[in-house]
Amino acid sequence: MRSNAAWRLDPFVWAKRQAATKMLDQQTECIAEALLRAGVNVTLDGDLTMIGAVTGVVEHQRVYRAVRFLPTVAGRDRRPIVNGLKLFISGHPNSRYFRYAVMTCAEPVPVGGDLRSVIRALSRRISKWAYEARKKYHVEALYRGIEFTRATAAERDAEAHARGQASDLSERCVFR
């Protein structure tokens, strides 16, 4: 495996990664501000400043508590698991047969909603699926994790309007 130093990075790949990172940071900030308005402070005192040793680029980042439904925190905490899975898959003799399966909740859970019961029901569905896949097709579920995904505010508004419901989320949560 290559180290993360002294190797050339394609500028288009870098730009795409930077744009994705910026989007996650904006989503995290929006969620953190909404939580703060609800009385929950997920931001730690003090900021983190990173200075590129080669480029000299200075970046300031807010520091968040380990609230894993914040997109940047989830990505940070998930990275070692994903990297470990990639390493496991790349070195396994049967890796060509490995597949990812993604299961989602049918409806988003609103802030203050009963997330615990939704997670419990989803975990139960996954367990039943894994049992049936093993029994009928000899497929083993090697890893399972739960993520909290988030549509953009505009997408949520459009979905609500399509159902005949009012939504002004995109007006209340504007990404800069």
Question: What is the per-residue pLDDT for 143?
Answer: 82
Rounded Cα–Cα distance for residues 62 and 71 (Å): 13
Q: How confident is the model at residue 120 (pLDDT cuts 50, 70, 90)?
A: very high
Query: What average pLDDT does the segment 116-133 reach?
Result: 92
Q: What is the pLDDT of residues 33-76, one digit of tens each?
A: 999 998 989 998 877 888 888 778 888 888 888 888 888 888 88
Rounded to an integer, what is the distance from CA 36 to the centroid of its chain? Answer: 20
pLDDT at position 24 over 60: yes
Query: What average pLDDT does the segment 131-139 reach?
Result: 94
Question: What is the per-residue pLDDT for 172?
Answer: 67
Query: What average pLDDT does the segment 9-25 reach?
Result: 89
- Residue 156 exposure: Cα atoms within 13 Å on the Cβ side: 16
Query: Is the whole model's pTM more than 0.95, yes or no?
Result: no
Report which DSSP code applies to 108.
P
Domain ranges across the chain = 1-84
Question: What is the per-residue pLDDT for 19?
Answer: 93
**138-147: Cβ within 8 A, 24+ apart:** 141/101, 142/98, 143/81, 143/85, 145/78, 145/81, 146/119, 146/122, 147/74, 147/78
Amino acid at 135: K
Amino acid at 87: L
174 vs 154: which has the higher pLDDT: 154
